[in-house]
Every structure is written in C-alpha cells, then in structure tokens.
Amino acid sequence: MTILTAIGEELHSNKILEVGYDLAEAYDEQLLVLHVIPKEDFNDHKAALKGTPASDSFTISREEQSAAEIAHQAVYESIDEYDPDRIETQGRVGDPTDKILAEVENTDPRYLVIGGKGRSPVGKAIFGSTAQNVLLNASCPVVLTSKQG
C-alpha cells in the first residue's frame, strides 16, 4: 500500500507533505506525492507558447513531467529530513478531483492526504471545492489538513 498525498500549485504545501510523510513512516509505506495541473492551465500555457519553438515540444506528457518535478520540489522544500527511496512523485493534467480519485482507484492507498483552503462551510456548500469532492467520493480514508505550516 501507499500513502497518497495530493498537493496544489503552492510550493508551501509543507503541512500536507509533513502529514503524508509522517503517515508513510508510521505505517512503513511508500509516499506518493501527486500534483495535478488543471487542463485549463495547460491550455493557457500552450496558447502562450503558440508560434514559438517551444510550442512543438509542449505536450500533456511533458506537462505531467513538469507537475511531477513541482511535486519533487515541494517535497524538497517542505520536509527537512526524508528517505528519498520512500517517496515517489507523479504529475497529471486534467480535472484535479477526477485525477486524484483516479489515482486513488489505481493505487488503493492506505490514506489519502489532501489540504483544505479554510473556507467556511457555507462557502464550500455554495462554491464547492476539490477537497470537498474528494472527501465525498474517495474510496479510502482521507486525512484533510490545513495548508498552513
């Protein structure tokens, strides 16, 4: 089994990663850190590169590699001491809720660790959120943490 930790755009997701790593150590599991780049962001990046030499090499596969590199950098910046053999990073492009839930189905983690944005219950009910949708639909136990360190 693994501990799946999904992080957002912010590189200051230290609390989420610390909790995920602590769980991985406690259960002697691998930590899989997932970063999802929304499809709209990918399309914006691709449009911004249109007509440049870089546009030909800008693919979903390359953007997923970039997302995995962002996850790796977040681990490096967030966890003081860690065993690199215990951690794997992955990137995906698409709807964050869908990609996180798909990863849950693919890996069957012991726990999924995600962060909340600290909105009020009314704000979440009106606007929805990735965290709320994942909490309601994940097929494994979910640990919700604050994004603040």
**pLDDT score at 119:** 60
**pLDDT score at 14:** 82
**pLDDT score at 103:** 98
**pLDDT score at 9:** 75
Q: What is the pLDDT of residues 15-54, one digit of tens each?
A: 899 999 999 999 999 999 999 999 999 999 889 988 898 8
Domain count, the chain: 1
Identify the domain containing residue 36 by its residue range: 2-146
With a CB cutoff of 8 Å and minimum separation 6, the contacts of 134 are 6, 97, 100, 101, 112, 114, 142
Q: Where residue 66 sits, what CATH number does that domain have? A: 3.40.50.620
60-78 and 39-49 helices, crossing angle to 10°: 110
**pLDDT score at 142:** 95
Q: What is the pLDDT of residues 76-130, one digit of tens each?
A: 999 999 999 999 999 999 999 999 999 999 999 999 999 876 666 655 554 458 8
Residue of 13 and 84 predicted with greater confidence: 84
- Lowest-pLDDT range, 35-44, 58-67, 139-148? 139-148
**pLDDT score at 4:** 98
The answer to whether 105 and 139 are in contact (CB under 8 A) is yes
**pLDDT score at 54:** 83
| Average confidence (pLDDT) over 2-8 | 95
**pLDDT score at 57:** 86
